[in-house]
Structure 1
Amino acid sequence: MAEEQTKTIRTTCPYCGVGCGLKVTQRQDDAPVIQPDPDHPANYGRVCTKGAALGETLDHDDRLLQPQLRGRPVDWDTALDTVADGLRQAIDRYGPDSVAFYVSGQLLTEDYYVANKLMKGFIGSANIDTNSRLCMSSAVAGHQRAFGEDLVPGCYEDLEQADVIVIVGGNSAWCHPVLFQRIQAARERRSNMRLIVIDPRRTATADMADLHLAVRPGSDVALFNGLFRYLDDNGYADRSFIDAETEGYTSARDVCAAFDPDRVAVDCDVERQAIEDFYRSFAEHERVVTLFSQGVNQASSGTDKVNAIINCHLLSHRLGKPGCGPFSLTGQPNAMGGREVGGLANTLAAHMGFEADNVDRVRRFWDSDSIAGEPGLKAVDLFNAIEAGQIKAVWIMATNPLVSLPDADQARRALSACDFVVVSDCMATTDTTQYADVLLPAAAWGEKDGTVTNSERRISRQHAFLPLPGEARPDWWIISEVGKRLGHEQAFDYRQPADIFSEHARLSAFENDGSRLFNIGGLGALSQTEYDALTPRQWPLKNADDTGSARLSGVTDGTRQPARFVTTMARPPVHAVSAEYPFILNSGRVRDHWHTLTRTGKSPRLSAHRDEPFVAIHPDDADALALQENTLAEVETRWGRLNARVRRDNGQRRGELFVPIHWNDVYSQRARVGALVNPVVDPLSGEPEFKHTPARARPVAMAWYGFLMTREAPAPQRFSGLDYWTRVRGYAHWRVEMAGLEVQKNWAPWARRLLGAVRPDADWLEFSDHAGRNYRVASIASDGRLDACLMLAATPAALPARDWLGGLFARAALDSGDRMALLAGRDAGASDAGAIVCSCHAVGRNTLIQAISEEGLNSTEALGRKLKAGTNCGACIPELRQLIASCQPADSAVS
């Protein structure tokens, strides 16, 4: 008998900007086994819950597998001809600026490069922007102002070598968990290492900190201007570095002089003692890394926030050296790669702007006679222009702007009004795809081949290990084929991603005299074999034998201009709270979900931790509004409203709300937080103010609560008449949480419509207590398997345990005891594990509390030994610590 063939492929995770390496092992027809790569320098064998569950997301459910023209399947030639004709007609009639591309950090660098080349180099407009505008463009603008280029001066090793880590506006334990694990491991080795977290919310990251500053939202500039003054006043300014390698110091100093600790304490709403503690820690340790993320970037003053941080590192010369520097944590797997190729509307390519000499340089390299000569429209302005009719044709690639943009209902109106909408996606059903005239099936992760660049400038290969399903094609191929049909055959005659990468690398080195640090010219002559074997490395890579540069020493190498101090103004968010809208609405990610659920929503494991849209609110505010845990609240702003579960959270500042970004109209009813976010943007970066929208909240007086479980995936249209619903993927079943404002006069016919088609030979078990608003029904197939069940009650607390009922779907047949338990709504022999805390090992909150309380397990290590919780990816450790603390006497220590 022939030996089984096994192949192992190294690739890169498709989630956050950490850029973790993965090792995929396949044996003949078995499902791929996905594990962390112990040799990849970004993660060294670590992986987060999302990466660990990638195998659960590879199915073809709801995949777009064939091109579609206005809802009907067509062949590729018809689809591509239609796209090219639609773009050409708009250009011929209204000019190149009547066309726009909206792309994504989910694209590979090669995809990004071809899209940018087609739009800017051959259509002749810079109206191409990316969803990275929504998360990292303030960092780009801050880098450009300070360093003359979009660059990160440090590397991940600095996080382990620092004496002080400052995390600003980021919940790294949840959003960049592998990096946070590296920090935690370093803290365990070095007891004197200090972690300081600056965040309005007390997050899982803040819970692990030595010092947490719960600053007023929008006050970061005041905080860091005060740090600048403290460093300058107390002799921590490096005068020789300032004089030799920087400019603008005097102006920055003069602005910061007003920010004494008393003013900063008032502006930030933090005790002066805590402010001074932070300032001393920064000043007295040479090795300080300041990590900043969306809480800094996503603001109308985001660019000034970035530069206020960089100013402090320039002043004290804490950058470009081991263990120190300002460090931007990127949100998407290839946000950095997109920035390198010019994916933003205000950049050209290879870190060049639209200065005349750069435009001419790129024009000659591309051999183009119609290159864009000025910046295009940034994301929010771009969608406003679509609605206004200035843009007649838009092509959206690998993103879901009707969920992710601020004032997202405006984006919906824009696409509804647009003459011609093209969407490339791997999924058939998203909020955005339903507005497409042409749908193009794109390759998904595991099927794509190319490169990505992570947050530390490290280029890694993403290898395909799955065949292309149906008629799906790589994005670079789709874009190239349209480019050829527009008459640019030679410019887009690529045979494979290696050809595109080579061109991208050569452009980075073209006429580069050292004024641009982004230079990967050393990779410009790779053969296909060498490209396939490319190992992770950090740019610059000027020569073929370069192994990469971990740090950009001094930042001002060679012929580059001096680094610049930027005067940063402490200004409040544009929209202030009022009597009508008294709360500040903040939005962000949760631990186990990603973007708009198109990938993580497929995973039962990832759906278990946070399974519904929620609004987090301080208990005092909740009491004032009569909001009880697990009931429903309506959150409303001037731009929109949503319904979400109430989570009473002591980690929230009073007067503030938090709602996650992930839920959408495919997975829930009226839960898109983007529809509530004000569309104000930073005037320089164009990044929206996602962290500060005035809002109000009120209870929704639901008459009943319930959930449906069904073996088949339920279509969202089935629940359109409900007042609240959200879909959750479980093992062997789907669950739909729901609630209603009115009690049905007769539950049975309503329930049958809700459950969908019931088999004629199915057993129908039913219990009804109309007066008590209790109703339970189950459909059991003739072979004894549970097909569906519906459980309703007057309050959320009166509903049965979901994990017990979900487990019944895995049984081959139900016995009489199971049937009785279904009618009773509880199984006397089953225990309720509670909400999942450790996704890797499916350990619930109630199980953990029992082990802590009854067995005296008072450390995360003890819980790990007993229940395995926290022993895989480690992302749940902050929550384990919280549970231990909540079960211990007030004076007990938690480890």
Structure 2
Amino acid sequence: MNNKALTTTQTTCPYCGVGCGVDINSDGSQVEPVSGTAAHPANFGRLCVKGSSLHETLSEEGRLLHPTLNGKRASWDKTLSLISDKIQQVLNTHGPEAIAFYGAGQMLTEDYYVANKLMKGFIGSANMDTNSRLCMASAVVSHKRAFGADIVAGCYEDLELADLVVLVGSNAAWAHPIAYQRIVAAKQQRPDMKVVVIDPRRTATCDIADIHLAIRPGSDGFLFATLLAYLEENDKLDQNFIVANTQGFDETLAAARAACISLDHSAELLDISRDALLSFLTLFASTEKTVTVYSQGINQSATGSDKGNAIINVHLATGRIGKPGACPFSITGQPNAMGGREVGGLANQLAAHMDFAPSDRERVRRFWGAPALAERPGMKAVELFQAVRRGDIKFLWIMSTNPLVSMPDADAVKDALKHCELVVLSDCMGNTDTAAAAHVLLPAASWGEKNGTVTNSERRISRQRSFLQAPGEAMPDWWMLTQVAHRLGFAEQFDYQSPADIFDEHCRLSAFENNGKRDFDLSGLTGMSLADYDALAPVQWPVNASYPAGRARFFDDGRFFTANGKAQFVAISPELPEQRQEGDLNMNTGRVRDHWHTMTRTGKAPRLAQHISEPYAEIHPLDAAARGIAEDQLVSVSNSRGAITLRARLSENQRRGDIFVPMHWTSRYASNARMGKLINETRDPYSGQPELKITGVNAEPFAADWQGMILCRDDMGALDCEYWASGVTQGGFYYEIAGRGDAAQWLSTVSQQLPQGDWITFSDANSNHHRHVLLVNGRLEAALFTHKEQRFTTRQWLIDRFADEQISASDRRALLAGRAADLPDTGAIVCSCYQVGEKDIMKAIENGCDSAEALGAKLKCGTNCGSCVPEIKALVATHAVAMEISA
């Protein structure tokens, strides 16, 4: 850090929907290590390892710095004029339905608002959808059916006040770490508090579970229908609440009884024991203060909307809603999925929680002064890209997302873009799969460079504030959209000078002809000065005359937003997923602990690559044995849509018949690991949300003649071998590699991509064992190791040598060994926050540290974000078992 004065900026983390506050100390060009905002009500100063690594992700490497047309640099004026001219040409020739926008939960609310207004209000098409369709659309449907509006009823404090927390389809320990740690802390303070985890996998979240129900994938609807019938049979309903505040109960109960003939029948459908099922039912029935937290395991389903309503049904039936420590709680995956819903980011919505009902449409039309306002809902994500592939969509603008990785049947989406006359991508990164397929690339300002707001899972609006100058010619999304609107003739309606102007209009629309009739109301935030907007403190909506400081919980007054003010029970007929037609395993997908989405940000932080460094497939040992798959072996996972290549991990945490594949790896970071290419387009009929958790696949060993690693100072890009996965280190880049044929010949070819220098080599052709180390002017430039079987997992000493200006004589002799003879091997990193390895932890256990707390006191592991504590406990348990066996 130089001697310039430091300024502290309070902003919001750009990762998951928890919405943690982050303190930034910066001089405007360099940033010190970040810390959590102590007073922010989402995190109270805590950050997970992803959040605490944010300062490591701010480099310009890979950034899109200038507008480009067909790969060539162009001016903003030229690209924006081309975009507006194309929109106008398509409007004149094909009409508004031939135009589409596709946004993201990473966009700020202000950017989202302008995109939605331009598309639906003035271009006149509702083909404006978002990647939130892939994660939150079913929750929106279930909320609207039950409550009359898309409302999350509770708040994070309820997680701490509950006597029972039920986590359904959520690995919160990895996906929402700080919210999970609030539950952990509450349980430590009140040991009588109970936690139930409902998930086919045994995940890190199960570490604190009193009950883990490893139900059949997709059977959640049967579980909650069974629970409803059980509550009625055992006189555990809140009849007064049902009569006074709800409708549709009798039909809903009849449907539940029809689906759940008996406990034995339900247990068989769920594929769990009757005793386990009964334990959960009796615990729920007897615990008044219950919060049911649900996430993608519920939403990403062909019946996700019904599953969400099945959960809400049991809370309505017991009156456990609107009370401290009692509510159904849908937690969002993305940092601004909630904000996108507020401004109408989904194709079936208008802004401010209004939709296409005639009264709503007329109200928005008058407020915007938009005579061409879209008349009906647009195409949802899957059907939108299908229309692109058919050639029906002539112009497509993608913002802040990477659908060629995240969408189901991702290769079909890749092919679809070839059929579109003009594909525009506004993004901060220029090296994504989608960027390679776009005609026009617009450089977008990124986190730390742009200003606006986001809304987290508990409806809390927080500011994202800039503390860096955007590099090159990067600009915020709202500015690009506004400039296009001006060129289309809408300068007066898009006369924004700052995000504060947009936020004020957003607030005024929420208040327009509202008077408490609609749930989303920010009338208390209208008319703020620029200084007030800059200083806006985190606040939960609504913010109005009735709730000037925001509202923590909805429905504590028994008032809902349906036509008659009563909550609506929704009768569901649960269904199991269709039988797998394309393989004998079911592929489940999700996140890993230290990465985020398609890694465009987390892929820049060396310590975030250390916990899990390459794409993998987790499979039960018995399923692996039946297919000849060994631990750490490469495996091909395939179906009729294609095949991907991953590293096998064997774990009894997997159910038999299931295989888990993370969502993060793209063509930028791996040769062939885009899991979306295998997923079919089955989706929920109400929400249009794809079923991302149920995909039939086959798995078999991937034959390779050699494998190895490369460490290098500079990024080598995609390698020409059968398998590679890459990431960053403290000194450069790493590659996990594998291939067929003669490793020596391949190494000779790939070495030509490296600078000229002095090579130190060892070779044993019989085992494809080669170790080549390159020095340039005495500095370590690259290390290339291969072997028929060996994996070369010990490498930290080599990585550290990239920081040396000159390699010493003694270190030269150790380079081919990969480590100095007297240097202990710390093992694979378990605690990313404090860089504590598995072997260090095991050594401490052997020396008497017999708990996670003791290990934390000695090594600091697990004492920051806590995400690694389940793994630390597993190591303690493994050692205990080994000692019992040896005794």
- For the superposition of Structure 1 and Structure 2, which TM-score range results when normalised by the shorter chain? over 0.9
Bigger mean CA offset, 508-517 vs 528-537: 508-517
> Per-residue deviation at 1:817?
2.7
What 5-or-longer segments of structure 2 have no aligned partner?
A: none
Letter in 1 for 2:723: Y
Q: Counterparts of 1:314-713 in structure 2 under 5 Å?
A: 314-543=316-545, 546-554=548-556, 556-557=558-559, 560=562, 561-574=565-578, 576-578=579-581, 581-713=583-715
* Alpha-carbon distance in 2 for matches of 1:426, 1:216: 40
Letter in 1 for 2:808: D
Q: Identify the residue that residue 848 of structure 1 maps to in structure 2.
A: 841
Q: CA RMSD in A?
A: 1.5
Bigger mean CA offset, 30-39 vs 427-436: 30-39
CA separation of 1:116/1:758 partners in 2, compared to 1, >3 Å: closer, same or farther? closer
* Alpha-carbon distance in 2 for matches of 1:81, 1:194: 59
Q: Identify the residue that residue 794 of structure 1 maps to in structure 2.
A: 788
Q: Identify the residue that residue 760 of structure 2 maps to in structure 1.
A: 765
* Alpha-carbon distance in 2 for matches of 1:734, 1:189: 44
Q: How many residues align?
A: 879
Q: Identify the residue that residue 251 of structure 2 maps to in structure 1.
A: 251
Normalization by structure 2: what TM-score?
Answer: 0.97
Q: Identify the residue that residue 58 of structure 1 maps to in structure 2.
A: 58
* Alpha-carbon distance in 2 for matches of 1:429, 1:155: 38
Q: Identify the residue that residue 288 of structure 2 maps to in structure 1.
A: 286
* Alpha-carbon distance in 1 for matches of 2:116, 2:279: 47
Contact 1:776/1:822, CA 8 A, preserved across alignment: no
Q: Counterparts of 1:196-211 in structure 2 under 5 Å?
A: 196-211=196-211
> Per-residue deviation at 1:557?
2.4
Contact 1:13/1:51, CA 8 A, preserved across alignment: yes
Q: Identify the residue that residue 777 of structure 1 maps to in structure 2.
A: 772
* Alpha-carbon distance in 2 for matches of 1:800, 1:608: 11
The question of 1:755 aligning with 2:755 is answered no
> Per-residue deviation at 1:821?
2.2
Letter in 1 for 2:784: L
Q: Identify the residue that residue 868 of structure 2 maps to in structure 1.
A: 876
Q: Identify the residue that residue 803 of structure 2 maps to in structure 1.
A: 810
Contact 2:24/2:31, CA 8 A, preserved across alignment: no
* Alpha-carbon distance in 1 for matches of 2:842, 2:638: 35
> Per-residue deviation at 1:865?
1.4
Q: Identify the residue that residue 853 of structure 2 maps to in structure 1.
A: 861
Deviation string for 1:759-803 (max 9, x for gaps)? 44x211111100121011011011x21000100011144x36122
* Alpha-carbon distance in 1 for matches of 2:500, 2:689: 33
* Alpha-carbon distance in 2 for matches of 1:759, 1:263: 67
* Alpha-carbon distance in 2 for matches of 1:392, 1:556: 48
* Alpha-carbon distance in 2 for matches of 1:741, 1:199: 39
* Alpha-carbon distance in 2 for matches of 1:429, 1:558: 47
* Alpha-carbon distance in 2 for matches of 1:773, 1:451: 55
Q: Identify the residue that residue 307 of structure 2 maps to in structure 1.
A: 305
Q: Identify the residue that residue 18 of structure 1 maps to in structure 2.
A: 18
* Alpha-carbon distance in 2 for matches of 1:338, 1:106: 9
Deviation string for 1:569-599 (max 9, x for gaps)? 211213x125x61100000000000000100
* Alpha-carbon distance in 2 for matches of 1:635, 1:563: 45
Q: Identify the residue that residue 740 of structure 2 maps to in structure 1.
A: 741
> Per-residue deviation at 1:810?
2.1
Contact 1:514/1:558, CA 8 A, preserved across alignment: no
Contact 1:800/1:825, CA 8 A, preserved across alignment: no
CA separation of 1:851/1:494 partners in 2, compared to 1, >3 Å: closer, same or farther? same
Q: Identify the residue that residue 120 of structure 1 maps to in structure 2.
A: 120
Contact 1:791/1:825, CA 8 A, preserved across alignment: no
Deviation string for 1:819-840 (max 9, x for gaps)? 2222345542222222211000
What 5-or-longer segments of structure 1 have no aligned partner?
A: none
Letter in 2 for 1:793: H
* Alpha-carbon distance in 2 for matches of 1:19, 1:136: 16
1:263 to 254, 262, 265: 265
Normalization by structure 1: what TM-score?
Answer: 0.96
Deviation string for 1:504-530 (max 9, x for gaps)? 011111111433111111111111111
Bigger mean CA offset, 514-523 vs 7-16: 514-523
Bigger mean CA offset, 511-520 vs 107-116: 511-520
Letter in 2 for 1:568: I
> Per-residue deviation at 1:346?
0.6
**What percentage of residue pairs aligned between the two structures are identical?**
50
Letter in 2 for 1:43: N
Q: Counterparts of 1:10-89 in structure 2 under 5 Å?
A: 10-27=10-27, 30-89=30-89
> Per-residue deviation at 1:540?
0.9
Deviation string for 1:828-876 (max 9, x for gaps)? 22222222110001111122112112x1211111111111101111111
Bigger mean CA offset, 162-171 vs 540-549: 540-549
Give 3-state SS (helix, strand or coil) of 2:716's partner: coil
CA separation of 1:766/1:397 partners in 2, compared to 1, >3 Å: closer, same or farther? same
> Per-residue deviation at 1:757?
4.2
The question of 1:833 aligning with 2:835 is answered no
